[in-house]
Amino acid sequence: MKKIVTNLTTWVILAIVSGALLGHFNPTTAIAMQPLGKYFIEVVKLFINPIIFLTISLGISGMNDLKKVGRVGGKAILYFEIVTTLALIIGIIVAHYIQPGTGVNTSNIESGDISKFTEGARKFSWLKFLKDNVTIQVLILSIVFGIVLSKLKKADAIINPMKFISKYIFKALHFVMLFALSDLFDGTLARLSQQGSTKWGALIDSTLDRITDAAICAGILVFAYSEGEMSLTVYLALTALITGSLIPYIRARAESLGIECSVGIAERAERLIGLLVGTGLYGLGISWALDVALGLISILSIITIVQRLIVVKRS
């Protein structure tokens, strides 16, 4: 019984069933719980690039013979192609015979314009794809870095700290994955409710996000000011507060002009995680952690503002 209760699969199934029941019997509450899954996905995205970099770099550096790396890579590509093909075949068979989605009411869903996708396909560029895709850049960097590490004689001085960091990143990811239940729950009930977020709900959600962000930075600012000896923290918190307000404003203003402007390396999730880590470490006695976190958030936020302004200018 203990194995069943502690098994993640059990809780995943329970979350799906619970979401289905709530979405069917109380769709209004189901829609209100949408942020549970939304923010879970944003947090998980934070782990993707560090895990790719650490895993690939450590994996390649741990192989003395680079030919083994090539063989492993070839087998991985072959396995991917076989499994992907099998998944496509299963999907086609299921769609043909079971026809999932039949009977779903789509009358209240606005039809979209697909012309932007066809136009994008015609203008596709591999160079632009590599430039805009951070994950691909991290993957290439990881491969090159891993090869360089495998050639260094004193690579252990770099590899050991990376292994230490990797260990705790995976622990943190494991902790975050416990909240996957909220995403499954939210996704299932939202689909069964057959409704989407209203414009009013989206406005309220965005407004509350801004209030929360401002309240966190303002709280840090007031605390630092009251301490008297944290003048740098005050300035950094003020910078984070201002830039954190400008980032969503620029996007909202650009989209009101019909310009897609969602680029940037410091989205809301990244800023909140940075603040959480900084304040948490400060509370544990690492006094410089808060200034470092606020400094990084401020720098990345300024870069994001510049990125979005460039996008609007080019449009």
Q: Catalytic annotation on 209?
A: yes
Task: Report how far Cα 167 is from the mean position of its chain's Cα atoms.
Answer: 20
Dmax over Cα atoms in the chain, in whole Å?
70
CA-to-CA separations, 252 to 17, 135, 255, in angstroms, rounded: 36, 26, 5
Of residues 156, 183, 209, 291, which has the active-site annotation? 209
Length of the chain: 315
Residues with catalytic function: 209
